Amino acid sequence: MKKLHLHHTGLLTMAGLLAACGGTTSINDLSGTVVIDGSSTVYPIMEAVVEEFAKGFPNVDVSIAFSGTGGGFAQFAVGNTDLSNASRPIKSTEAALAETNGINYQEFLLAYDGLTVVVSENNDWLTDITLEELRTLWLPEGDDPATDDIVETNVPPTRWNQIRASWPNQPITLYGPGTSSGTFDFFTEVITKEVGNSRTDYQPSEDDNVLVQGVAASEYALGYFGFAYYIENTDKLNAVAIKNSDSEDGVIPSLETIADGTYTPLSRPLFTYLNIEKFQNNEALREFMTFMVDHVKQLTDEVGYVSLPETTYQGYGTILEDLA
């Protein structure tokens, strides 16, 4: 599985790490395992936490994967993971499965993201797109969830000039997350008006690095994924400005436009979910969670998402104390 390796500054010296974790456990004493899976969008944040935590607790084995939000919840709801990263809230069906299996959990809002529509840096003609054009681009043939009508003639466009006449008469190539991804769920709900309602003739991957490479390779490709993956690849990609209507100016995603709410409707919250029983019975997991809430704000800022107020993360420390 390919990983996104985002560069961030070291948070603390070894002595600082010990002090931050209370100084009660030697960096060489604590051992154990922590298992994390879920959203590829949240992955850069959690990977940064894991890398910094390992400097203070080298004998704790923290495994982290990104099978997508849905894939992560499928493992979490049967007790196979300690933490499940998510780019959407847990669904009622997923929560019901967790309850059936006796899994009690705590939700933590980690940050905000701006889902980013991207094209190759070689594309100088697709600089903005309206929500309706995005919908036309991704809506499949058949039912239209916005009108409840059967649109027999709704054949997805195959050439760019079928969407906007001034665009090239060239074939469309699309890249996006797989159907188990929370990013896929969010995008389809917002753009095509129904979760999972998407044309299927696109190149899917749960690995956002694959999507980056695919879009970057063609002037006539378009894709979407989390903001941090765009920020890490601005030398290969251009972000497309989103227009809510033809009469409005397009808005490019940035830390500022995501934070102030002007990048709408593609801004979204990012979460992680903690298995409470595993937390109570796993000292390594308790140390990891304490470290995470202490340092996730700085690491979130460094990897390119919008962090929450410091007081919010401080409140998470109180929640962890109560859960323990």
- Residues 42-73 have pLDDT tens digits of 999 999 999 999 999 999 999 999 999 999 99
- Helices and strands, counts by H and E, the chain: 12, 15
Is 3.40.190.10 the CATH classification of the domain at 14-112+269-323? yes
User: How large is the average pLDDT for residues 15-25?
Assistant: 48
Residues spanned by CATH 3.40.190.10 within the chain? Answer: 14-112+269-323, 116-265
pLDDT band at 15 (very low <50, low <70, confident <90, very high): very low
| pLDDT for 246 | 81
Mean pLDDT lowest for which of 23-32, 246-255, 283-292, 307-316? 23-32
pTM above 0.85, yes or no: no
CA 243 to chain centre: 22
How buried is residue 167: exposed, middle or buried, by Cβ count under 10 Å (0-12/13-18/19+)?
Answer: middle
| pLDDT at residue 290 tops 80 | yes
| pLDDT for 29 | 85
| pLDDT for 27 | 57
| pLDDT at residue 243 tops 70 | yes
d(CA 186, CA 196): 9
Q: Where are the alpha helices (DSSP H) in 37-155?
A: 43-56, 69-76, 92-100, 131-138
pLDDT over 90 percentage in the chain: 83
| pLDDT for 2 | 34
d(CA 152, CA 271): 39
| pLDDT at residue 257 tops 90 | yes
> pLDDT averaged over the chain?
90
User: How large is the average pLDDT for residues 247-267?
Assistant: 93
Which H or E run contains 129?
strand 128-130
Token reading at 303 = 């990897």
116-265 has which fold? D-Maltodextrin-Binding Protein; domain 2 (3.40.190)
User: How large is the average pLDDT for residues 221-249?
Assistant: 94
Question: How many CB atoms are closer than 10 A to CB 296?
Answer: 23
| pLDDT at residue 139 tops 50 | yes
pLDDT band at 23 (very low <50, low <70, confident <90, very high): very low
| pLDDT for 28 | 61
